[in-house]
Amino acid sequence: MRTINLFTEHLSRFMGADDLKAIHSEVLSAKKTLLEGSGKGNDFLGWINLPVDLSADIVKGIKEDVERLTSKSKVFVVIGIGGSYLGARAVIESLQSEFAAMEPDRKSPLILYAGHTLSEDYYYQLMQVLDREDYSVAVISKSGTTTEPAVAFRIIKSHIENKYGKEEAAKRIIAITDARKGALHEIAVQEGYRMYVIPDNVGGRFSVLTPVGLLPIAMSGYDIDKLLQGAKDMREMCINNEELDDNPALLYAAVRNVLYRKGRKVEILENFVPQLKYISEWWKQLYGESEGKDGKGILPHSLSFTTDLHSMGQYVQEGERLMFETVLSVAGPRHHVEIPADEQNLDGINYLLGKTLTEINRNAELGTILAHVDGNVPVLRIEIPGIDEYVLGQLIYFFEFACGVSGYTLKVNPFDQPGVEAYKKNMFRLLGKPGYAEK
């Protein structure tokens, strides 16, 4: 079932059917390159078949771990950075209550994150929580050598061993890493941790449908079967359809490349519901790392409306015309809240009575789109019917597939990230890491 629809009517002032017709053969050829594995980075295409290839044993193992650890953990710490963290957080924060930490009758462990920052205060505050609450840990690193998660794991490993003793601590730690190499792999083997493998042919930012994303998502109480089913259905659609109208990923890749060539160098992904904020963070990494290279690439940016209409709205309306917008629009809410009547109407909002908050929000969305188009900003709208595991599975696969097609259309290797190394070399040299100090 298709749950993601693209609406291009607000693009008509900026690009036409002829532009799409002209680029159609290019995106088709990019799709062919992707599916045949004949392009650059073709040793990192394992994500294409993950929804169908992922073994049932892995899913079963994850569910068993969830059962084993849920009963003894109020908190589950996920240690990882970049692709080893953002996908899980995107799905969990989309699905859980904004106030999950305050839920009195929470059945699943609350997920806390580490390894994505080097802030000392952050770790101090995290340790204070871990002193009080029972917890377990997933430490996730494909290379097994990334500094931020390694530092976090050193701190948390020491804490959990002091709290529970070495033997019990080892039962509360799950390592997700390379099958053969890396420091984390070695530690996990030596300490006897439960381990999951990140396949060699799946890069970090495409790894959410491996245990990297699936374990934390399941630990948080969400249905990974539905997530995988959504991805599977979207895979069918992306792989089997050649027409832009039938294949949302091809259409998205086509639109963004047409707009880029017309000088729109920035894409702003916008939501009107704050729970999608981390979908934007995941999307920024996916597109930023995949396309930002060789002096090329659309700069991915994100805003949460209506909140940011009261900050960045001014720039979008009247600043430099660098950007186009992609509105990630949600058709329906999961819950309803009444706006109460007030005879006095001192606040002047009685005219809204009888309307749902979602209706008001949808009008804010349409009003914003019309204003921004008037302000000379092209707007693409992606609509999803609601937020659940199935829809998120579709959305993840849609963005991933479109990213591969878009990257090849841009003529870059969408599956490497050589630029990420530059800061690391300087940091290692400054910190005196052996082998770097003299460089």
Cβ at position 99, least distance to ligand PA5 in Å: 29
Q: Which CB, 267 or 289, lies closer to ligand PA5?
A: 289
Q: Where are the alpha helices (DSSP H) in 107-210?
A: 120-132, 147-164, 166-171, 183-191
CA angle at 395 for the pair 393 and 400, rounded to the nearest 5°: 100
Measure the CA–CA gap between 426 and 155, rounded to whole angstroms.
Answer: 24
Given 149, 211, 248, 297, the residue binding ligand PA5 (CB under 6 A): 149
Cβ at position 204, least distance to ligand PA5 in Å: 2
Cβ at position 81, least distance to ligand PA5 in Å: 5
How many residues at the interface with ligand PA5, by CB under 6 A? 15
Given 81, 90, 237, 379, the residue binding ligand PA5 (CB under 6 A): 81
Question: Are 235 and 393 in contact, with CB atoms under 8 Å apart?
Answer: no
Q: Which CB, 39 or 80, lies closer to ligand PA5?
A: 80
Q: Which CB, 146 or 326, lies closer to ligand PA5?
A: 146
Q: Which of 120, 167, 310, 338 is catalytic?
A: 310
Q: Are strands 135-141 and 194-197 parallel, antiparallel or unpaired?
A: unpaired
Cβ at position 146, least distance to ligand PA5 in Å: 3
Is 161 one of the annotated active-site residues of the chain?
no
Amino acid at 342: D
Question: Are 231 and 50 in contact, with CB atoms under 8 Å apart?
Answer: yes
What count of other Cβ atoms lies within 10 Å of the Cβ of residue 434? 7
Residue with token string 């650890």: 69
Cβ at position 87, least distance to ligand PA5 in Å: 9
Whose CA is closest to 209, among 185, 230, 192? 230
Cα R_g (the chain), whole angstroms = 23
Region 115-144 residues binding ligand PA5, contact defined as CB under 6 A:
141-143
Residue with token string 């607000």: 10
83 touches ligand PA5 (CB under 6 A): yes
Secondary structure (3-state) at 399: helix
**How many residues belong to the chain?**
439
Q: Which of 26, 289, 325, 389 is catalytic?
A: 289
417 touches ligand PA5 (CB under 6 A): yes
Is 157 one of the annotated active-site residues of the chain?
no
Q: Which CB, 110 or 175, lies closer to ligand PA5?
A: 175
Secondary structure (3-state) at 384: strand
404 touches ligand PA5 (CB under 6 A): no
- Look up residue 383 and give its DSSP letter: E
Cβ at position 63, least distance to ligand PA5 in Å: 24
Whose CA is closest to 282, among 184, 383, 435, 398? 398
Question: Are 375 and 222 in contact, with CB atoms under 8 Å apart?
Answer: no
Residue with token string 């539905």: 226
Given 146, 271, 302, 406, the residue binding ligand PA5 (CB under 6 A): 146
Region 262-301 residues binding ligand PA5, contact defined as CB under 6 A:
289
Cβ at position 174, least distance to ligand PA5 in Å: 15
Site string for ligand PA5, 180-219 (x = CB under 6 A): -----------------------xxx--------------
Q: Which CB, 148 or 325, lies closer to ligand PA5?
A: 148
Measure the CA–CA gap between 229 and 389, rounded to whole angstroms.
Answer: 9
Measure the CA–CA gap between 289 and 416, rounded to whole angstroms.
Answer: 8
Is 289 one of the annotated active-site residues of the chain?
yes
Chain contacts with ligand PA5 (rule: CB under 6 A):
81-84, 141-143, 146, 149, 203-205, 289, 417, 420
The residues annotated with a catalytic role in the active site are 289, 310, 424
